[in-house]
Structure 1
Amino acid sequence: MAMSNVETRPDQVVCKAGGLPGPACDQQGRSPVEIITSREVPLGGPRAMIVRRTLPQRQRSLIGPWCFVDHYGPADVSVTGGMDVAPHPHTGLQTVSWLFEGAIQHIDSGGNAGLVLPGEVNLMTAGAGICHAEVSTEETTTLHGVQLWLALPEATRHQPEREFEHFEPTPVSFAGGEMLVFLGKLWGTESPVQTHSPLLGAEIRLDPGASIDLPVNPGFEHGLLVDSGDIALENVDLPVAAVGYTGTGVEELRIANRSDEPARLILLGGEPFPEEIVMWWNFVGRTHEEIAAYREEWQAEGDRFGVVDGYVGKGGPGRNADGMGRLPAPRLPDVTIRPRKNPPPQVQGGPAE
């Protein structure tokens, strides 16, 4: 999943103690929560799959180094033929693929190939440049999961290595549910996958009616994405497909599933990312000029990104269902692309205007 964001911001709602917009909530002694709602975005061409995107947006472009959050499915792909994203480029980021249902074949210009399966994380490091393709398997009839990006810091964003890591975390049980920590460390469980900033990524499963007071790193800001369930974060109702954001300084998150069905959530966190980024299409850089140069090199089939060998799309070897062997870059906007300025790592007041 590889498209960037050029859309207007979704709604933002803040619920905190002492008078608040919208429905009342009992927040005595709890941390304030900023609700970032999703918007639907078509991913791909005529056979586009609809995804629900929460990051980036104007009010909050990053949560820690997390700069892109797409949530999709469960989508019946038996009629459309499934996912078929032809080779496309990336710079300055890591892609994090995490599935709930289905299977996707990954292949990249670093010579890496891997099968993305539910409960197993695949992390690809773009560095100075990489290209890859993603195709759902023939057996997949339903796709459901998240696609996430991490911005690389200045120290490693130009690295020439095209890295790929795969990890299947062991579920860790607690009273009322279980968690799978796929990146970073949470509640004594740690992932061995290498990242370039202090961060966290975990799937949390809550039983019907269950709740947890989850100890978290107070140096991190956190975002909780709801996949399913009637969820309250810090006693604030959190809609399905929305992200509940809490800033730094929070030592514990109260998460409750108020429904009579199991709930599934994705918890993302990290130290506030200190650098401003320029993000356009599939590129993360620091200036408009960098982005323009990346686009030109991709269009010219330059050496920066390499070549994906062995791509087999829905249109046969080397072609997707629309007959393309690689995705062309969109036209650059007529204005200078500016850095994404993130607000301070605390909950922002009031609904978005």
Structure 2
Amino acid sequence: MSNVEARPAEVTCTSTPGDVEVLGPRDVPLGGPRAMRVRRTLPQKQRSLIGAWCFCDHYGPDEVRMDVAPHPHTGLQTVSWLFTGEIEHRDSLGSHALVRPGELNLMTGGRGICHSEVSTDTSAVLHGVQLWLALPDAHRDAPRNFQHHVPPTVTLNGADIRVFLGSLAGSTSPVPTFSPLLGAEIVLPAGAALTLDADPSFEHGVLLDTGDVTLGETALQPGDLGYVGTGRTSLALSSANGARVVLLGGEPFGEEIVMWWNFVGRTHDEIAAYREEWQAESDRFGRVDGYPGSRLPAPALPGGRLRPRGNPA
């Protein structure tokens, strides 16, 4: 998914530990041909990263058609996870795949890639999350790649868990990552009280999709992302009426990045060069075959220089 905000902000980040911190979503109109609105919880001023997770858009359920024209990415991986609907994915690697509920689609941008996303004719309602992972410096020019995985459902104390990246509750995703990570969907029944073993080197975020959930002693509202820092050996989730959450985790990233539009880099000059190459239709990004329309043009850079911004202490 492209970030098609008219004035995308630049972001640079590292993560710091702390108590439960509630990150409320901001409503973002993405505009363009798909006319979608999303609830964005990463990045924001008080926290830009959870592990390598640097972008979280939560959308639907909405009766809306997605039609995102070919657009570029660098220095990141995109993670598409649906609850309802179906999206057709095409990229410059030559991948042509369907994104379906409960199935992971992970695309590596690395040095450069472009892709399109269009909801299928059978999808009247779209509901899901779009996530980005920042690639560490040693791997940020990794070659283009696309992976699809259908994680099994494991049950723990009545909760259904699908682990799409990393390991949790005895389930491990076979999809490799460039930094230690966790990504899972958890469906809690009414009256659930679930304690999960946690890697103390990880920081974690719990995104509440639907229902009610309490993280530790902190109640979350739908759309909230509850953050906890490193040092936890367990995570306690409870729900009175049932809930669905997305659990994200990872070791603190430890690097500063500059994120603007659909690019992740390290400096203003890098981002400006990526934009210029995209506008010039450089081979860095390739081309998407099969999309019946034009590419997305890059927005204008802001007047000042893009600069790194880290999480507050």
TMscore range, shorter length = over 0.9
Cα distance in 1 for partners of 2:216, 2:132 equals 26
Q: Does 1:58 align with 2:56?
A: no
Cα RMSD for the two superposed structures: 1.5
Alignment-mate amino acid for residue 3 of structure 1: N
Q: Does 1:110 align with 2:110?
A: no
Does the Cα contact within 8 Å between 1:4 and 1:279 map onto a contact in 2? no
Cα distance in 2 for partners of 1:138, 1:223 equals 34
SS at match of 2:205: strand
Which segments of 5 or more consecutive residues in structure 1 lack a partner in the other structure? 10-30, 312-317, 320-324, 345-353
Alignment-mate amino acid for residue 304 of structure 2: V
SS at match of 2:32: coil
Distance 1:153 1:98, change over 3 A: same
Q: TM (normalized to structure 2)?
A: 0.95
The residue correspondences of 1:293-308 to structure 2 (distance < 5 A) are: 293-308=273-288
Work out which of the residue numbers 158, 168, 176 in structure 2 matches 1:194.
176
Cα distance in 2 for partners of 1:299, 1:258 equals 51
Work out which of the residue numbers 189, 193, 200 in structure 2 matches 1:211.
193
Alignment-mate amino acid for residue 49 of structure 2: L
Work out which of the residue numbers 81, 86, 98 in structure 1 matches 2:69.
86
Q: Does 1:270 align with 2:250?
A: yes
Cα distance in 2 for partners of 1:76, 1:45 equals 16
Q: Does 1:144 align with 2:127?
A: yes
Alignment-mate amino acid for residue 202 of structure 2: F
- Residue identity over aligned pairs, in percent, reads 62
Does the Cα contact within 8 Å between 2:106 and 2:147 map onto a contact in 1? yes
Alignment-mate amino acid for residue 41 of structure 1: V
Cα distance in 1 for partners of 2:82, 2:61 equals 10
Give a deviation string over 1:183-204, Cα, whole Å, max 9, x none.
0111221001121000000000
Cα distance in 2 for partners of 1:151, 1:70 equals 15
Cα distance in 1 for partners of 2:58, 2:205 equals 14
Match of 1:314 in 2: none
Point out the structure with max Rg over C-alpha.
1
How many residues align? The count is: 305
Match of 2:14 in 1: none
Does the Cα contact within 8 Å between 1:222 and 1:245 map onto a contact in 2? yes
Cα distance in 2 for partners of 1:46, 1:192 equals 36
Which segments of 5 or more consecutive residues in structure 2 lack a partner in the other structure? 12-17
Alignment-mate amino acid for residue 296 of structure 2: L
The residue correspondences of 1:1-353 to structure 2 (distance < 5 A) are: 1-3=1-3, 6=8, 32-45=19-32, 47-77=34-64, 82-159=65-142, 161-259=143-241, 262-311=242-291, 318-319=292-293, 325-343=294-312
Cα distance in 2 for partners of 1:302, 1:7 equals 24
Q: TM (normalized to structure 1)?
A: 0.84
Does the Cα contact within 8 Å between 1:228 and 1:240 map onto a contact in 2? yes
- CA drift of 1:47 comes to 4.2
Cα distance in 1 for partners of 2:129, 2:196 equals 22
Does the Cα contact within 8 Å between 2:10 and 2:260 map onto a contact in 1? no
Higher relative contact order (CA 8 A, sep 6+): 2
Cα distance in 1 for partners of 2:267, 2:159 equals 44
Name the stretch that deviates more: 271-280 or 187-196. Answer: 187-196
- CA drift of 1:340 comes to 2.8
Give a deviation string over 1:99-133, Cα, whole Å, max 9, x none.
00000000000111110000000000001000000
Does the Cα contact within 8 Å between 2:88 and 2:119 map onto a contact in 1? yes
Distance 1:4 1:189, change over 3 A: farther
